[in-house]
Chain A
């Protein structure tokens, strides 16, 4: 078979350039995180990890993630079901609206929440009367995290359910069937996949969100510091090793995310080749 760019010289050159750039731009930073974290030896690493404030930041990050992911999962399923199974006026608008968090700068996301729930905000002032504080406390962090991660699950589900809906309609027309047709052994694993993938992405972003959270958190040590904020604070304090210790935890999670994604894609490809 003749394909463009198959001359050995061209191929070697392009692969070479690609590998060098990948090593420089992606691999090197990854290596640097762990190298910096372990610069002071393994003992210092453990000491930094078991630091009171770091543990508190890990705890808060877990809390935020545990609240955000299920809420967005439920919302994503409802949204996907709604826009792929029913037609109603404003359906396109709804789909566009849901993409806003992707386009908005995280700082702007934080800002609009601050304007709403801050002490001078519409809702904030009212809630303040009942002694409920949203901003500069964990509920604010959870809210902005929900905002920035809300499209992920629906975005994975919608294309799949749309394709499936179209197939079902064809089946309904040709076979006279209606409602849920199709081969459930094929559609259910595919949906489970998309769902899992959406959860992985939501989780990664929820754990790592920085811009929006830093606006609403107020960075009170041991109380409103999530892990990324902890990284920033330690770095600003010139505690590089400490900052990278926390960063290494987040990097480890990122690697797990990549591995999970690769595994899912590999399984999907295998299922497709078997089908």
Chain B
């Protein structure tokens, strides 16, 4: 063990390019990532605490948090169910057109968000193919939080499917068979045996979908319509403040969005680590 470690260090030193790659990487990270982020801190440091509080607790902004969180939560939950279903169907069953359906799952990542935005807005507007039909049922989608949730759900479809799929593929058939030989019905076996195996991937995927939805902009603004207090999302509020040259206000709200995303990402990572330890008896 010790010999292996020593040898590893030795071989690492033999490898070329440590200085160069460290230099290039650090320069890049500083210029592209850190410097711009410090400008946010710089802008915020010019504010007093009460000014900061005033900016982030403006009623219109508070309403935007509520709409964003609600729509993102609904979108993430929809994707948890839809993603689980799609992963299951794509892994467990054979049917014509399966490869096409599989490839389509990545469309939301490949399609520019603005394109998704105008398309969904057109489809679900009161004159659109789907919207017209839903309108007669008394279910307006465009210019409501439901439309926002729909757009968020669309752009984050791949997260759950693509995190659950590989885990389901790796699940050995003996797990199914063991449950069935012990007399479990399909529903019981799925809930008690299959789902717990998929749980970490499902939660991670749903969490990532939620984080992505919180920050979504391009896909949402067209269908949202931007009615104050009702269909304004937080990203839009930042955008609006920038257009009004209210840089301090934009920076203050942006700091909330940024902090929320980073904290959520950290929580997801920590949670995942804990789960992996339990299943494998050690850290993976």
**Mask for A70-85, Cβ within 8 A of B = 1, else 0?**
0000110011011001
CB neighbours (8 Å) of A209 from chain B are: 112
User: Which segment, of B28-36, B55-63, B140-148, B274-282, faces chain A?
Assistant: B28-36
Q: Out of B40, B109, B239, B264, which one reaches A215, CB within 8 Å?
A: B239
Q: Is A133 an interface residue (CB 8 A)?
A: no
**Mask for A21-32, Cβ within 8 A of B = 1, else 0?**
110111111101
Chain A residues numbered 68-114 whose CB sits less than 8 Å from any CB in chain B: 74-75, 78-79, 81-82, 85-88, 94, 97-101, 103-109, 111-114
- Asked if residues B251 and A111 are in contact (CB atoms below 8 Å), the reply is yes
**Mask for A240-262, Cβ within 8 A of B = 1, else 0?**
10011001001101110111011
Q: Is B50 an interface residue (CB 8 A)?
A: no
Q: A172 CA to B22 CA in the complex, in Å?
A: 25
**Mask for B12-49, Cβ within 8 A of A = 1, else 0?**
10110110111011001100111111011011000000
**A residues contacting the other copy or chain, number (CB 8 A):** 98
- Asked if residues B214 and A105 are in contact (CB atoms below 8 Å), the reply is yes
CB neighbours (8 Å) of B25 from chain A are: 75, 78-79, 82, 94
CB neighbours (8 Å) of A210 from chain B are: 112-114, 117, 217-218
Q: Is A179 an interface residue (CB 8 A)?
A: yes
- Asked if residues A254 and B107 are in contact (CB atoms below 8 Å), the reply is yes
Minimum C-beta distance from B185 to chain A (A)? 9
Q: A163 CA to B28 CA in the complex, in Å?
A: 25
Minimum C-beta distance from A230 to chain B (A)? 9
Secondary structure class of chain B's binding surface, majority of residues = helix
Minimum C-beta distance from B196 to chain A (A)? 13
Minimum C-beta distance from B207 to chain A (A)? 11
Q: A97 CA to B112 CA in the complex, in Å?
A: 25
- Asked if residues B189 and A122 are in contact (CB atoms below 8 Å), the reply is no
Q: A24 CA to B28 CA in the complex, in Å?
A: 42
**Mask for B159-183, Cβ within 8 A of A = 1, else 0?**
0000000000000010011011000
Minimum C-beta distance from B72 to chain A (A)? 11
Closest B residue, CB atoms, query A261? B106
Closest B residue, CB atoms, query A82? B21
- CB within 8 Å for A81 and B107 given contacts A28-B123, A211-B217: no
CB neighbours (8 Å) of B186 from chain A are: 4-5, 7, 10
**Mask for B57-96, Cβ within 8 A of A = 1, else 0?**
0000000000000000000000000100110110011010
Q: Is B284 an interface residue (CB 8 A)?
A: no
- Asked if residues B118 and A247 are in contact (CB atoms below 8 Å), the reply is yes
Q: A98 CA to B112 CA in the complex, in Å?
A: 22
Chain B interface residue count: which class? Answer: 35 or more
- Asked if residues B112 and A99 are in contact (CB atoms below 8 Å), the reply is no
- Asked if residues A100 and B112 are in contact (CB atoms below 8 Å), the reply is no
Q: A32 CA to B15 CA in the complex, in Å?
A: 53
Minimum C-beta distance from B248 to chain A (A)? 10
Minimum C-beta distance from B152 to chain A (A)? 12
**Mask for B113-151, Cβ within 8 A of A = 1, else 0?**
111111111110000011000000000000000000000
Q: Is B224 an interface residue (CB 8 A)?
A: no
- Asked if residues B258 and A208 are in contact (CB atoms below 8 Å), the reply is no
- Asked if residues A32 and B7 are in contact (CB atoms below 8 Å), the reply is no
Q: Is B238 an interface residue (CB 8 A)?
A: yes
Closest A residue, CB atoms, query B180? A2
- Pairs A-B, 7 closest by C-beta atoms: A208-B112, A105-B215, A210-B218, A211-B217, A254-B110, A116-B39, A112-B36
Would you give 17 A-B contacts (Cβ < 8 Å), ordered by A?
A1-B173, A4-B190, A15-B93, A18-B101, A19-B101, A30-B111, A36-B122, A82-B18, A112-B37, A115-B247, A123-B35, A173-B7, A179-B11, A208-B111, A231-B114, A232-B114, A257-B106
Kindly list 5 other residue pairs between chains A and B, CB separation below 8 angstroms, not including A86-B21, A112-B37, A115-B40: A15-B93, A22-B86, A97-B29, A107-B236, A210-B113
Binding site for B on A (CB under 8 A): 1-7, 10-11, 14-15, 17-19, 21-22, 24-30, 32-33, 36, 74-75, 78-79, 81-82, 85-88, 94, 97-101, 103-109, 111-116, 118, 120-123, 143, 146-147, 150, 169, 172-173, 178-179, 201, 204, 207-211, 214-215, 227-229, 231-232, 235, 240, 243-244, 247, 250-251, 253-255, 257-259, 261-262
Binding site for A on B (CB under 8 A): 3-4, 7-8, 10-12, 14-15, 17-18, 20-22, 24-25, 28-29, 32-37, 39-40, 42-43, 82, 85-86, 88-89, 92-93, 95, 97, 99, 101-123, 129-130, 153-154, 157, 173, 176-177, 179-180, 186, 189-190, 194, 211, 214-218, 222, 235-236, 238-239, 242, 247, 250-251, 254, 257-258, 261-262, 264-265
